[in-house]
Amino acid sequence: MPSSIVLEERPINLAELKATLDNIEKRDTKLGFRSTKTKEYLKKFSKLEEKKADELMQKIKALDIPRIKDRQIIKIIDLLPTELDEIRMIFSNETTSISPENMQQILNVVKGIKNEPSKRRNSNSIGFFAKWLSIRQTSNAPEDSNSASYRQGSFHFT
């Protein structure tokens, strides 16, 4: 049985993992069970394209925040926090402490990347139309009523 040697170990963001899985799928034509499940997860939760994620990584590193680690930057890229409390949660279990000013700088960079227009189609557009066309059942029945006319209710488009 051949032994494997780890050449490099580094954290990667969800967008980079998604691109890597796409390359593996092109090479092998079919993914294994775990890879398929991982790809499904990435489709749901990956918020940025690989280029945008790399751009965000470079911008956060350019802030020259002392004691920030690559794995913490990766978490920021994956989660895209919108509030200071969310950034505090990323650093809550760490021994490094980041000043509120530096956290605000990170937040401003993340908001700048999030607000840039993306070429990627909005994956939530189906959810928007489903909500827009949703049917809400309302009933005028008293809570203790069991009559069939009350149980039918009425439907309204919202």
Rounded Cα gap, residues 49 and 41, in angstroms: 15
46 in any annotated domain: yes
CB 76 within 8 A of CB 90: yes
Domains held by the chain: number:
1
Rounded Cα gap, residues 42 and 50, in angstroms: 12
Residue 16, CB half-sphere, CA atoms under 13 Å: how many? 13
The closest alpha carbon to 113, from 87, 86, 88, 78, belongs to 78
pLDDT in tens, the chain (158 residues): 678 898 999 999 999 999 999 999 999 988 999 999 999 999 999 989 999 999 999 999 999 999 999 999 999 999 999 999 999 999 998 888 899 999 999 999 999 988 876 554 444 434 443 343 444 333 444 544 444 444 444 444 44
129 in any annotated domain: no
- The pTM assigned to this predicted structure is 0.68
The domain that holds 46 is classified in CATH as 1.20.1250.40
Give me the domain span that covers residue 75: 14-115
- What are the E-state strand segments in 20-143? 135-138
Query: How would you class 95 by CB atoms within 10 Å of its CB: exposed for 0-12, middle for 13-18, buried for 19 or more?
Result: exposed
24 in any annotated domain: yes
106 in any annotated domain: yes
Q: List Cβ neighbours of 80 (8 Å cut-off, separation of 6 or more).
A: 47, 48, 110, 113, 114
127 in any annotated domain: no
